[in-house]
Amino acid sequence: MSERVEQRHDWSLEEIADLLQSPLMDLLWSAQGVHRAANPGYKVQLASLLSVKTGGCEEDCAYCPQSMHHSSDVTGQPDLEVKAVLDRARIAAEAGADRFCMGWAWREIREGPAFESMLAMVRGVRDLGLEACVTAGMLTDSQAERLAEAGLTAYNHNLDTSPEHYDNIITTRTYQERLETLQKVRQAGVTLCCGGIIGMGESLRDRASMLQVLACLDPHPESVPINALVAVEGTPLETQPTIDPLELVRMVAVARILMPYSRVRLSAGREQLNREAQILCLQAGADSIFYGDSLLTTSNPAVESDRALLAAAGVQASWQERAAA
């Protein structure tokens, strides 16, 4: 049995910035060593994402088309009911997903029928044999506890960017409130899904700072989504240029080195990458991807494309492992 990789929670900003700027081949070599030791067999988790409540969010996140502050706000789509969500979850499971993620465009979880429906969705998703993840903004201690009792696997609450760059992106919620939300989730016994976005006008030092916050959490987040900005018309960041794919590769590699046993999830922006860039991200340490689109049917070309990608990379998805068992 291989020795466990050392986990640190005391990374300095300078150490992380040096990693982000190190020669790419050296960085990939280091990340590969960590990844192979921490993830023997090179398995990739497939996650499906569905928006349950879309648009009309009170937050002013500069990247988000669901904010009521932006002309891109997509309010008008009806909230999905429990049966509709579980039908989608069932299709996702049949297509090979392991985790079903559900999103609500809220600043904070609201009490009442909507929260009761959320709990029913979590229970239903778990009954299907899937991990259940929710992202719905801030929450109270009692809400976190009730979600844990319903069987919630993970709660997603991203930092988005560094503490230093944060006020340039969001003004309606503080960085400290984000950290307090993470603490409430931890105290309830639910795992954390927490990452950020690059390509929002931040500096390399901002990227290092965001990774430092994540890597100094003890324990590390169990899942770390690495997103690249998708510039949407009608948002304040609509004119931001698309990042160089190798910048995303570097972020994935450094996240893997800093947090050896976290799932590093290749998330938003993946559709902007060609096959070779995605394979480089897998080589750099990404071991989870969002699978298909929000509708996710078994005949969806995106699903077949993802399966072909994993086959070309020679890595095994979790559904293949289940099928072989």
* AA identity, residue 59: E
Residue 177 CA to chain centroid, in angstroms? Answer: 19
Provide the annotated active-site residues: 57, 61, 64, 101, 133, 193, 265
What SS3 class is residue 276?
Answer: helix
Residue 65: enclosing H or E segment and its boundaries?
none
Closest of 184, 182, 194 to residue 142, by C-alpha: 184
Q: Where are the beta strands (DSSP E) in the chain?
A: 43-53, 99-104, 131-135, 154-156, 191-193, 196-198, 223-228, 263-266, 288-290, 316-317
Give the HSE-up count for residue 209: Cα atoms under 13 Å, Cβ half-sphere: 13
Residue 193 CA to chain centroid, in angstroms? Answer: 6
CA distance 199 to 159: 14
Kindly report the length of the chain: 325
CA distance 41 to 229: 31
How would you classify residue 41: left for phi > 0, otherwise alpha for psi between -120 and 50, otherwise beta? left
* AA identity, residue 248: L
| Interhelix angle 245-258/13-21, nearest 10 degrees | 140
Helices (H), 96-236: 113-127, 141-150, 175-187, 204-215
CA distance 306 to 271: 11
What SS3 class is residue 49?
Answer: strand
